[in-house]
Amino acid sequence: MFLEELRSAVPADRVITDADMLARYLHDEAEWAGYAPPLAVLRPRTAEEVRDAVRVCLRHRVPIVPRGAGTGLSGGANSIRDCLIIAFDQMNAIKEIDPLEKLAVVEPGVVNDDLRRVAAESGLWYPPDPASSPWSTIGGNVATNAGGICCVKYGVTKDYVLGLQAVTGTGELVRLGRRTAKGVAGYDLAGLMVGSEGTLGVITEVTVRLRPSRAAERTVVGYFDSIVSAGQAVEAVASAGVTPSALELVDRQSLLVVDAWKNMGLSVDANVLLLGRIDEPGELGDRAALDLRECFDKAGATWSATSTDQAEADALFEARRLVYPAMERLGPVLTEDICVPIGAVAEMLARIEGIAAQRDTTIANIAHAGDGNLHPLLIAPNDDAAAKARAQSAFDDIIDAAIALGGTVTGEHGVGLLKMSGLTKELDPVVLDMHYSVKRALDPHNLLNPGKVIANRLG
């Protein structure tokens, strides 16, 4: 009955029920996050089709799971039993680039790097750049408030969302936010949708702020003997008032797996690598790059340099992006996403090392170190139940340590399924109740991505 009505409400070819085709939409990239078979997948081409489908779901009380490219790492896009997955791979148009207002209007299925490429043709730049930018979509980035390498200086997705169009939990197609540079009329409902992981509305269009293209970046490299001394260098950079456009950490375990895959030779001389970038122009950039290098040296770098070879510099940052797929070649990777104050980075890295030893778990570390966003990567073979249990315990220990140091359980990947217990540890019960109140107001029937972010206390 539901499927018949759905096919009547939207063009029938938008609805997929074939089991083999459904399989590609069942889950994101989060290891050990559960999923169950849906009733169908909808691949809409217009916002109105999304609205009409949501209204059918309301009548039949069918839960809805919005999905971008499935590159998430928290289980937020995972299918739940007898749901309708709304996949936005067919809504991938860049509808407008406005050079005067410096904004873009895009559908949610637009790939991040595609927007950046098209914006560059007009001398403009879209800063949020998650490691998944060649594949992840703007809709998914908005859903998780994605960050990335350059967010240490330029901010995260929320800082660039001016407005959006979404379908509410009551089946209304609404526009939120604005196109103007400023605006404080009413509550920031567009901002509320950013990072809500599809639990408050189904996003069908996004208006984002753009910036002018930047000057060429200078890359500063530092080698360190220990991960703690690299963390101390990060604190030194912040204390010196240097604002890099990127400050990334890659540990020896990560360097080894990238070398084994791509034969880049990075692990020959370095135990830990710090990669910094400066994008101020001219003499200001020269001075800032020198200051950044001095911070590395004072914190104990065994070697540092400002790269004069752009190809070499780009290869180093490409190696940083390759760490996760290189790790995946070894087996399932359970990815952490904690964020701590800058002053606690070194201590948090030390605690991660201690947890790895205590739990007898292999943990590699990469990090957006400049803003305290750490990504420990926990490795455990699927066929080793004991190792998997130790890794899960280590995962929980890392969350507890981050909260104890004044941090948060997720900096950019979202809560999804994997961080729900951590969220209840981080948030005061009164604040958690505020979350439920918002959810109840915007999704009174609890049909929008239920069971994600906050536990099912509704519906």
pLDDT of residue 331: 79
pLDDT digits (tens, 9 = 90+) for 328-384: 888 788 999 999 999 999 999 999 999 999 999 999 999 999 999 999 999 988 789
Backbone angles phi, psi at 210, to 5 degrees: -115, 160
For 127-143, b/e burial (b = at least 16 CB within 10 A) is: bbbbbbbebbbbbbbbb
* % of residues, the chain, pLDDT over 70: 99
List of E strands, 62-197: 64-67, 84-87, 94-98, 103-106, 124-125, 161-167, 173-177
The pLDDT value given to residue 457: 62
| E strands, 240-306, in order | 246-251, 272-278, 303-306
Residue with tokens 């217009």: 46
Q: Which helix (H) or strand (E) holds 207?
A: strand 202-209
Domain at 2-87: CATH code: 3.30.43.10
Of 234, 252, 250, nearest to 292 (Cα)? Answer: 234
Query: Containing H/E element for 444?
Result: none
pLDDT of residue 188 exceeding 50: yes
Residues 6+ apart with CB under 8 A from 151: 127, 128, 129, 368, 371, 412
Summarised one tens digit per residue, pLDDT across range 325-342 is: 888 888 788 999 999 999
DSSP characters for 388-435?
Answer: HHHHHHHHHHHHHHHHHTT-BS-SSS--TTTTHHHHHHHS-HHHHHHH
| Band of pLDDT at residue 416, cut at 50, 70 and 90 | very high
214-324 shares its CATH topology with 331-444: yes
> pLDDT confidence of 459, banded at 50, 70, 90?
very low
DSSP helix/strand/coil, 89:
coil
Buried b (16+ CB within 10 A) or exposed e, 317-333: bebbbbbbebbbeeeeb
Q: What is the pTM of this model?
A: 0.95
Question: Could you tell me the CA-to-CA distances from 203 to 12, 168, 321 in Å, in that order?
Answer: 22, 9, 28
Residue 319's pLDDT is what?
85
| CA separation for the pair 304, 29 (Å, rounded) | 35
The domain defined by 94-212 folds into: 3.30.465
Closest CA to 190 of 384, 450, 442, 454: 442
CB-CB contact of 276 with 288 (8 Å):
no
Topology of domain 214-324 in CATH is Alpha-Beta Plaits (3.30.70)
DSSP state of 17: -
Domain ranges of the chain: 2-87, 94-212, 214-324, 331-444
Give tens-digit pLDDT for 145-172.
999 999 999 999 999 999 999 999 999 9
Percentage of the chain surpassing pLDDT 90?
Answer: 87
| pLDDT at residue 391 in the model | 95
| Pair 362, 373: CB distance under 8 Å | no
Q: Using alpha carbons only, what angle is made at residue 309 by residues 303 and 310, rounded to the nearest 5 degrees?
A: 115
CA 183 to chain centre: 27
Mean pLDDT throughout 76-96?
A: 98
Q: What is the pLDDT of residues 15-54, one digit of tens each?
A: 999 999 999 999 999 988 999 999 999 999 999 999 999 9
What residues are paired with 166 via a beta bridge? Answer: 174, 203
Handedness of CA 166, 426, 450, 28 (dihedral sign): positive
Average pLDDT score, the chain: 95
Q: Options 3.30.1330.40, 3.40.640.10, 3.30.70.2740, 3.40.50.720; which CATH number does 331-444 get? A: 3.30.70.2740
DSSP 202: E
Q: Give, in order, the Cα–Cα distances in Å from 69 to each of 39, 134, 195, 343, 448.
A: 19, 11, 16, 35, 18
Distance in angstroms (rounded) separating the CA atoms of residues 126 and 248: 20
